[in-house]
Chains A and B, each alone.
Chain A
């Protein structure tokens, strides 16, 4: 197997698992959002990597160039990045509201307050 040639994809998997682990294991609501961000960022790299065409040039029309890299995945992921930013903003806004309501951003703490009611 071509391990070194799949360099990008190893990074993707590493980032994805790190992010996913943080989302699952962390009890802090802000840290969870950061984990989610890492998780999403790994997918951005997956998309960006797949746009590269072997020996392809920058996708700007020029004379004498016949092979271009595929620009479409980059455009797609631009949209996904915007979605990611919106999700992060909304998530953090919710965390602010949760802190106002519970006085804490720790999951255990919040859970305990709900249970005691």
Chain B
């Protein structure tokens, strides 16, 4: 049952309010380690027109309830730490302004399809393992620079870079994996993040690992379990468009590209 938590914490201090606007945050609370079931705590916090959901959560932590578990770092959509489900849709808390949600009550839950550590913090082990599985590095036959040979830099034209630069913007926030309907049921699916990164490296002209990567994803829980629902691209905060990468990757396996 939701609890309205309006008590000031033991420090008994609060920032002077400059705004008369306030919003109710319904934050999911759970601690699987000690077996507590999920419940929602409600907090009323003030906000400005530029306030983000992360600002509101940190305001709760500072003044109302220190114990809210949240992962965050850069506060500028660069690190991918603060992914969570905000009003039912996976978003970065630091990149979501309260005013754009257009709601008096904001429900904040941990991302779907990730094991919960505590409250809003989830475990990324599966996603990182899937990412490592697709060999997320440039595989090059000329990685050693031998003196006396012509091998220097690995040159690329601007056109070559344009082919993959979009997919290199991935910050591993996990929002795509959270939104993906296949990941909702299939725990063996590699996920849109890993598949988009597989395309990033295959499309890179410096890379020679295409054959091995294609073999890795060509399995019953690999690329073929993507059905172009597009939810991954809908939620990606960096414009990576994993759905595009996955469809382009598929054309390699269908024999339409070399």
- Indicate whether A and B interact: no
Q: Name A's B-contacting residues (CB within 8 A).
A: none
